[in-house]
Amino acid sequence: MLAATLGAALAFGAPAALAGTAPVSPSGKVIPAAPAKIAGKAAAAPTSQSATWAAGTRAYLVITAPGDSSAVRAAVAANGGTVFSNFDSIGVIVAHSASAGFAATMRGVSGVQQVGATRTSDVPADAYNPALPANPAQSTTPAGEPVRADMSQIKADQAWAVTTGSPSVKVGILDTGVDDQHQDLAPNFNAADSVSCAYGKPDTRAGAWRDVDSHGTHVAGTIAAAKNGKGVVGVAPGVKISAVRVAEPGNSFFFAENTICGFVWAGDHGFKVTNNSYYTDPWQFNCPDNIDQAAIIEGVKRAQEYAEGKGSLQIAAAGNEDYDLAHKTTDSASPNDSTPVTRTITNACLDIPTELPGVVTVAANGSGTSKASFSNFGSGVIDVAAPGSDVYSTIPGGKYGTKSGTSMATPHVVGVAALLASTNPGITPAQLRDKLATQANDIACPSDSRCTGTAANNSFFGEGQVDALKAVGSSPPPGKYFENLADFAINDNATVESPITVSGVSGNAPATLKVGVDIKHTYIGDLRVDLVAPDGTVYNLTNRSGGSTDNIVQTFTVNASSEVANGLWKLRVNDNASADTGKIDAWNLTF
């Protein structure tokens, strides 16, 4: 969920239901946010399609049987409404009407199962003629991408030695949009499958997916910022990311019709996993005994099931009010698009989408394996946990910043899921859910009476903190292991060396010294690659073989038994021709 400022955490009950928007005090407690700006009140009618919009226009979900909805759509038009969009595959119509009696009338139409208002405020005029988000000027991305604490905490940096993720794995970021021009995101951005679903209708214009806040861009960097020697690295820097903007501009509200549009898009466009760091506005919890909220539950549930049926797993933030989702009592933040009122609720009332069946719910860790003070919790609700405090990632305009929240924990889990999908082609959403649970590292309850359950599964951390290295089916190789993950540019007709200092190994190197090499370079026939021992002895690994093939990702075995193990070892790469360049991406030694 969204952070309002850099370093802020999105509050579960804050206006605009980003999973981390309200500021967090030094103690970690959520600071109450200012009242929400009411959507649509100040908007003027657009210059085009102005006849379609009128003050008092509200949005409704009209639920019918999946399939041909032409008869119900005709009834919408005949009863004072217009069809804004429709999703026949799940039997959901998004209707607009300025008539106060529209919903009641439509509930009496043959074939209509449910009707519910999705807002307590007017639909903005912008819905009929949406402005494209800004395309910000880009700052120069700083060189260097040190491994950050959140990545090492879940062993993502070790998992990269196994895989950085497959470009055939597509991840959908359902959020405030993504700055696709950011130099750390552009290499992995998939514009062809990006869209805006603001207002509940796909807008496929170029750039419609761009960020109207900064939250979605921050999430995107944690998932898949490129391993390019700049800024930061995402958990799965080899996968592809698509932006599905479900937030509306000006207020960053995520109404039900927007989420429905996003999930259907995810299913139809082959997203293996989606990131959902928000709850569906304007209700913090949707209660089935409320006629409007019941329709919201059904509509979003159908869309989620549709996406899952198409092979997509949804992962969502638990929220940031330090609230027990398994023992709900009150909701004082809803509706957040008009005037919130305090109401009594029960566990039948759901935070959507995070509490829908099939959705993976993510809690936030603070430092190490502690519970982040703001993170929601709940026995049987939380599935896994991940770092969510002071996470440094990309923000629009080529910049970087720190945010906290379960919004920031969720993309770590999404990245791990993307690595799992990369190493398990054809994996189903159910299997992916199971693997996310089994790879997580158990965390016992702290001295906090609210935490119930066992170390294997409890109300604070679910199955535990995700572990990227375990997820990709590997563990650190046996024996002493050393690596250098820094990038070293390989220029034309030049030599470059990447060093590793070995210490703590007694005696000589083995006769079966393992040298793991990850070199990104087009036309590897240009390259000679050598291992240089501490005394300067050169062991050739490959010499201008491979022709026009790209990249050397291989483990070589070297008889280095005559060499003292401890000291400075180097990987030396010599480029012997023009036109093709690259980099030493990573390399390692196993003694």
Amino acid of residue 91: G
Element (H, E) at 398: none
Catalytic residue among 122, 175, 292, 337: 175
The 3-state secondary structure of 93-143, one letter per residue: EEEEECCCCHHHHHHCCCCEEEEEECCCCCCCHHHHCCCCCCCCCCCCCCE
User: Is 268 one of the catalytic residues?
Assistant: no
Biggest CA pair distance of the chain: 89
* Token pair for 424: 């398990």
Q: Quick one: residue 461, left, alpha or beta (phi over 0 = left, psi -120 to 50 = alpha)?
A: alpha
* Token pair for 18: 């980003």
Give the C-alpha separation, 370 to 448, whole Å: 11
Omega cis (within 30) before 46? no
Q: Is beta strand 273-276 parallel, antiparallel or unpaired with respect to 170-175?
A: parallel
Burial class (CB in 10 A: 0-12, 13-18, 19+), 503: exposed
Residue 567 C-alpha from the chain's centroid: 41
Which residues, at least 6 apart from 197, have a Cβ–Cβ distance to it below 8 Å? 174, 203, 244, 245, 246, 258, 259, 261, 262, 265
Spatial contact of 30 and 321, defined as CB atoms under 8 Å apart: yes
* Token pair for 422: 């990369």
User: Is 175 one of the catalytic residues?
Assistant: yes
Give the C-alpha separation, 134 to 450, whole Å: 44
Dump strand ranges (E) for 220-358: 240-245, 273-276, 313-317, 330-334, 341-344
Catalytic residue among 375, 407, 422, 498: 407
User: CB count, 10 Å around CB of 120?
Assistant: 19
Q: 3-state class of 321 per DSSP? A: coil
Give the C-alpha separation, 477 to 590, whole Å: 7
Which residues, at least 6 apart from 224, have a Cβ–Cβ distance to it below 8 Å? 165, 171, 185, 188, 234, 235, 236, 237, 238, 239, 240, 241, 415, 418
Catalytic residue among 96, 215, 218, 412: 215
Cα distances (Å, whole numbers) of residue 294 to 81, 308, 516: 21, 21, 55
- Secondary structure letter of residue 156 according to DSSP: H
User: CB count, 10 Å around CB of 204?
Assistant: 12
Cα distances (Å, whole numbers) of residue 583 to 143, 206, 380, 517, 552: 14, 32, 46, 11, 10
User: Is 407 one of the catalytic residues?
Assistant: yes
* Token pair for 149: 């604490």
Handedness of CA 143, 146, 148, 152 (dihedral sign): positive
Give the C-alpha separation, 393 to 237, whole Å: 13
**Catalytic positions, written as ranges:** 175, 215, 407
